[in-house]
Chain A
Amino acid sequence: MNKNNLLSIKNLTISLEGRPNTSPIVQDLNFEVNAGEVLGIVGESGSGKSLTGLSILNMLPKGVYISAGQILADGKDITKSEKKLLRTYRGTLFSIVFQDPGSALNPSRTIGKLLSDVARAHGNSSKGNIREKSIEMLKDVGFPNPEERLKSFPFQLSGGLRQRVAIAMALINRPKILIADEPTTSLDVSVQKGILDLIRRRTIEDGIGCIFISHDLGVIAEVADRVMIMYSGQVVEEGPMASVLTNPKHPYTRGLIASAPSMKSSLAQPLRPIPGSLPPVGRTPSGCAFQDRCPEKALGDCNAANPTWFNDANNQSHRWLCHSEAKK
């Protein structure tokens, strides 16, 4: 195994409990996260990207469970670990930053208390030590005047600062893997940039592995080294960021790029939306999941059996799932 490998997911499948006739909501996922790199997961709402993140922490909501596959963290299979053991993993091995820092932070605790709670629950630091650690951590995440702000409550901070506190809480026990689930979606663009830079910097400097989940390909393009494009519970394309962006292969990826407005877009080159919408959860069609919306459907036998993986000739780690290699 690769020495830098922190997390590997093998054939992960997530299903709905007590609904045998529905298709899995995450299907046969395989990926690895290495130290010092950001893996981006892009997909529309309902594509299973957040559930993938939650499944790693074993925090899936009720009624949803891992029906097959393995999650190997630091070489250990944690898929079927006992609850007690999982507790020790959370916070120290993995941690997570959620979308909305307003509702992710306990409103009745001060910043100092929030940080020391996490440090004490998972670490083994003494009291004085924790205060120093908290201040150092807040400095690391670019929080101005941390000494004075330890007594502030979350509501006294702006959205950007709150998200910095959430990231400090996630990193205070030096986890190996950080899962960031849409951490900038509720923030302004000007604040977003700071948070993206911060996550990148901490990933490289601390040598952690980061899974960055977002629906915005533009944001992922800023922050990720590798990207996985998810559609209806499946990965349809994955590879190094630059390769996927400059040479998108799957019709869905191409659709995502064509429909995303950018700084160069204008009415002279109209956006090309993907027609239709995602199939309802649990009703992924057999064959290719994207067949109903695919503009290039006529080229392949799209509802037949399962699509196959094709590799990019120039870059073997860039691959996509389709019925026909020739689609352009």
Chain B
Amino acid sequence: MKPILEASSVKKQFKGRGRSLDVMALDGVDFLIHPGEVIGIVGESGSGKSTLSRILVGIEKATEGKVLHNGEAVESPDDWQKLRLDIQYIFQDPFLSLAPHMTVGQSIRDGLDIRGEGTPLERDERVSKILELVGLKASDANSYPAVFSGGQKQRICLARALILNPKVIICDEIVSGLDVSVQAQILNLLVELNQKNGVGLIFVSHDLRVVKYLCQRIIVMHQGLIVEANNTEELFANPKHEYTQHLLSSVPAGLSIAGV
């Protein structure tokens, strides 16, 4: 099977301002994801995991290297638009990523409106369906984001991404701000979307426990480089790189006496 999305020797340098130095956020990184795959990117803050995922959808431009979509280099603005038909992005903070003055229905419908898919009536129907898919009510489309809790807002963001039938969703720390009971609801929803609808996921997180649960393959990043990549079981059973070992030993293990 051909990878749907690839990054090839990507480098990203952020120019320093004033006295601060230039930062090499990514120092030559290769990455690829096949349709239907769930890949975790872990690392501490500053390791480059968010920069990599932002480059993959073109929110940041790589200083060097290429992004490939279905095996072809993405270069012109048209290429990027085509890429975004397949790839969606969900941000960490659901409170900041929904327009407060638009109803939930309008926010979710926006992508369809821009692409001009279907008649207006059909679009509304799709909004209702997608809201039910993520565990909300069709009538929620008429409410504003302010009346929803954090977990519900993250479901709305998920609905907004899903309505365009993406092949891959990039989730940048999307459960970090949520309580565990709600976090588990969202994680199980992602599992269901992957297993039933075949949506691929790139799951960026600093929480190894969550990544272990969700992902088939894991990439460990440190100081702008991928230091280890392996399938989940191998990586946890037999971490090779020193930094991976350090990360694994830092995870709070206190709950293990509860038998979980």
A residues near B (Cβ < 8 Å) are 44-45, 159, 188-193, 196, 215-223, 241-242, 245-246, 248, 255-267, 270-275, 277
Contacts and interface: CB of A to CB of B under 8 A. Distances in A.
A131 to B, nearest CB: 28
10 closest A-B pairs by CB: A221-B254, A273-B184, A259-B184, A274-B181, A188-B44, A44-B179, A245-B258, A222-B254, A261-B209, A271-B184
Nearest to A223: B254
Interface stretch (B59-67, B88-96, B245-253): B245-253
Contacts of A246: 257-259
A217 B184 contact: no
Contacts of B48: none
A216 B257 contact: no
B73 interface: no
Given A222-B252, A265-B212, A277 B260 contact: no
A191 B182 contact: no
A159 B188 CA distance: 31
Nearest to B152: A277
Contacts of B253: 218, 222, 262-263
- Residue from B179, B210, B254, B256 whose CB has the most chain A CB atoms within 10 Å: B254
A270 B212 contact: no
B252 A259 contact: no
Contacts of B236: 263
B246 A271 contact: no
A222 B253 CA distance: 7
Given A261-B212, A264-B260, A270-B191, A219 B252 contact: yes
Interface string B225-260: 000000000001000000000111111111111111
A221 B255 contact: yes
A219 B252 CA distance: 6
Given A215-B180, A271-B187, A257 B209 contact: no
B45 interface: yes
Contact of B257 (A191, A193, A219, A245): A245
B70 interface: no
A260 B250 contact: no
Contacts of A191: 44
B182 A216 contact: no
Contact of B181 (A192, A223, A255): A255
Contact of A267 (B149, B179, B213, B249): B213
B45 to A, nearest CB: 6
A221 B260 CA distance: 12
18 contacts: A159-B45, A188-B45, A189-B207, A189-B247, A193-B252, A217-B180, A218-B209, A219-B252, A241-B254, A242-B257, A245-B257, A257-B255, A261-B184, A261-B187, A265-B212, A271-B188, A273-B182, A273-B183
Interface of B: 44-45, 149-152, 179-185, 187-188, 191, 206-210, 212-214, 236, 246-260
A221 B252 CA distance: 8
A188 B252 CA distance: 12
B213 A261 contact: yes
B184 A190 contact: no
Nearest to B247: A190
B211 to A, nearest CB: 9
B251 A263 contact: yes
B218 to A, nearest CB: 13
Contacts of A44: 179-182
B254 A219 contact: yes
A216 B180 contact: yes
Nearest to A241: B254
A123 B45 CA distance: 37
Contact of B250 (A193, A215, A262, A272): A193
Nearest to B149: A277
A238 B256 CA distance: 19
A102 B257 CA distance: 34
B252 A218 contact: yes
A246 B213 CA distance: 22
A142 B179 CA distance: 30
A302 B169 CA distance: 42
Contacts of B185: 273, 275
A277 B191 contact: no
Contacts of B249: 193
A257 B210 CA distance: 14
A219 B253 CA distance: 8
B181 A267 contact: no
Given A190-B246, A222-B252, 18 more contacts: A44-B182, A188-B45, A190-B247, A215-B180, A218-B253, A255-B181, A257-B258, A258-B260, A260-B184, A261-B184, A261-B187, A262-B256, A265-B209, A265-B260, A267-B214, A277-B149, A277-B151, A277-B182
B140 to A, nearest CB: 14
A272 B213 CA distance: 12
